Structure 1
Amino acid sequence: MTVTRIRAQWERHDERFSPVRGDRFVEVLYDGGSWLEGPAYSAAWRTVLFSDIPSDRVLSWDEVTGAVGVWRSPGGYANGRTIDRAGRMLQCEHGSRSVTRTEPDGTVTVLADRWEGKRFNSPNDLVEHSGGSVWFTDPAYGIDSDYEGFQATPEIDGCHVYRRDLDGSVTRVTDDFSRPNGLTFSADERTLYVTDTERRHLRRFDVGPDLTLTGGDVFAVCDAGGFDGIRVDDAGRLWGAAADGLHCFDPDGTLLGKLLLPEVCSNLTFGGPKRNMLFVTATHMLLSIRVTVTGLR
């Protein structure tokens, strides 16, 4: 299989970015999407699952063969996803306006589709806490039009962030966002980062022992479009998808540097046997590059 390569362009903004390097080329693993999102690496399956939202498909890239195939179609207009600690796939679905879990045998369980009896807008991205709760954002992209789901009138008064606990209860954890999007925890889970794409910034919350949030200060402002998906590496650096590529921040909020890419980036994940492969969804492409940092497990 012939793989297209793009010369990697690293842009340093701070000397602390010096240890961050990677392959000379970014590999284009797939370039036939409409608007790709939600990459998640499964070590058990040795695949990256990702969404082509407008085409209503979940695709898979095989780490062994390099082949890309349709994993699920229709795909529920799925957006963000993650692999939980039991190896199951959790994903946000615009079509059903829900958060679901796919078991190893293919059984699909709806984890959350309502808050106080009202349907969510269109769950967008999610992250699992070590205690088993699932945290997710709920902007309205999937009901704004038929492009990424089904146009509908919102039932909830705004776009918020929620937590689904093991007992099935759903709690709204913050309600002062415009369009909450990507989210991730710090390594010690004492900090939750959430992007607000419409306001073009990234916020930081303190997570209490009872999982309540305080704070919410602006951690970083995007200088190229708006932030989308985010991830943390094992050194605590925060990586965010933006219009010109990936932005990398120190835990103190300093922009360390960027990996410049040719298309608007929506999301990223770390994967591979050593978790040192960056997989990026960028408009119609799935990209990968091996780097000198390791993704947080």
Structure 2
Amino acid sequence: MSLEVVATGLQFPEGPIAMADGSVLLVEIRRQTLSRVSPDGQITVVAHLGGGPNGAAIGPDGRVYVCNNGGLGWVDLDGGLMVPHGAASDYAGGSIQAVDLTTGAVETLYTECDGRPLSAPNDIVFDSHGGFWFTDLGKENETTRDYGALYYARTDGGFISRQRDRISWPNGCGLSPDEKTLYVAETWTCRLWAYDLSAPGVLTPAAAAYLPGRHVLTLPDYLPFDSMAVQANGDVCVATGINGGITVVSPTGQAHHVPVPDFVTTNICFGGADMKDAWITGSSTGTLFKTRWAEPGLKLAFNA
């Protein structure tokens, strides 16, 4: 696979969205912005979001909906590499934000659910009904951590539902082509789970109280999962750390690895006329890559 470097100098890019005009929207977590990368690599700031903007997706109204983890601490490594570590010193909770692409105006939609503050919203996916699923990774410090959770919400700011609680580091999330299955990747357990949906925004009850979902895959080594995108054929493409790259997983758990030259590869998105153009975020190096993918990606419910 040949990788093209589209842009460098990004401040821990994540949440890429392939736009119809050929540009890519993404967040820069360390810079605290929603940014746009043009096809020639020019980087412009769309909005300053504060905290730690993470996963992002276009909603039915054309706005960009952003999971904000509230802010991260940072460690600078040799060679100009950067990695997150713990919470920012000014961390004050997570949120879901919406950004108007025309004006750059930012609206905060949710900071809590049923009186419990959001901890660290991480990744987001819209269904065709206009609602969205999002993961909350949880926060940790030297001695304690918050559990993660899985939520469903609507864009009007008036409905949010915690659908699964006490999950260990839920990160990437994505819907199957028929929207009957929600996939969730756990970071530090290196596991991929599937959740059956009984209705839009409603998970079927767990098979057992001790199971987060239906187990699809656990990687055989310590290779933490990050965010994801789904292919048109239903396979799940999960960004994978340490060995750096994308792990492509079938719904039945078969997997193969596509290497990327960044040990903190965090996300992938698809676009182009045949949905085989793929953009990948190499976050520790601040790089946006582009390549031609073997299979077409699944068209998302909304785009702009």
Provide the residue aligned with 2:14 in structure 1: 37
Structure 2: unaligned runs, 5 residues or longer: 71-92, 207-212, 300-304
Q: CA deviation at 1:159?
A: 1.5
1:34-90 deviations in whole A, cap 9, x for unaligned? 4221111222x5321122212323321113x43223333355421110112443211
Residue 261 in structure 1 maps to residue 269 in structure 2: no
Classify 1:271/1:121 alpha carbon distance in 2 versus 1 (closer, same or farther; 3 Å).
same
CA contact (8 A) 1:100 1:111 kept: yes
1:293 to 283, 287, 295: 295
Provide the residue aligned with 1:248 in structure 2: 248
1: distance between equivalents of 2:47 and 2:201?
Answer: 34
CA contact (8 A) 1:269 1:280 kept: yes
CA contact (8 A) 1:58 1:75 kept: no
2:225 to 224, 227, 232: 227
Residue 110 in structure 1 maps to residue 112 in structure 2: no
CA contact (8 A) 1:111 1:164 kept: no
2: distance between equivalents of 1:118 and 1:211?
Answer: 20
1:120-140 deviations in whole A, cap 9, x for unaligned? 112111111111211111123
Q: CA deviation at 1:232?
A: 0.8
2: distance between equivalents of 1:34 and 1:66?
Answer: 14
Letter in 2 for 1:288: K
1: distance between equivalents of 2:129 and 2:59?
Answer: 11
1:164 to 146, 153, 175: 153
Deviates more, 1:209-218 or 1:79-88: 209-218
CA contact (8 A) 2:176 2:230 kept: yes
CA contact (8 A) 1:41 1:83 kept: no
CA contact (8 A) 2:149 2:167 kept: yes
CA contact (8 A) 2:168 2:189 kept: yes
TM-score (norm 2): 0.78
Classify 1:86/1:210 alpha carbon distance in 2 versus 1 (closer, same or farther; 3 Å).
closer
CA contact (8 A) 1:162 1:173 kept: yes
Q: CA deviation at 1:224?
A: 5.1
Classify 1:62/1:75 alpha carbon distance in 2 versus 1 (closer, same or farther; 3 Å).
farther
Letter in 2 for 1:57: T
Provide the residue aligned with 2:234 in structure 1: 236
Classify 1:291/1:158 alpha carbon distance in 2 versus 1 (closer, same or farther; 3 Å).
closer
2: distance between equivalents of 1:248 and 1:274?
Answer: 19
Q: How many matched pairs?
A: 261
Q: CA deviation at 1:234?
A: 0.8
Residue 277 in structure 1 maps to residue 277 in structure 2: yes
Residue 125 in structure 1 maps to residue 100 in structure 2: no
2:35 to 59, 73, 80: 59
CA contact (8 A) 2:133 2:151 kept: yes
Provide the residue aligned with 1:77 in structure 2: 52
Structure 1 residue runs of 4+, over 3 Å off? Answer: 73-76
Aligned residues with identical type, % of pairs: 30
CA contact (8 A) 2:152 2:201 kept: no
1:174 to 164, 186, 189: 164
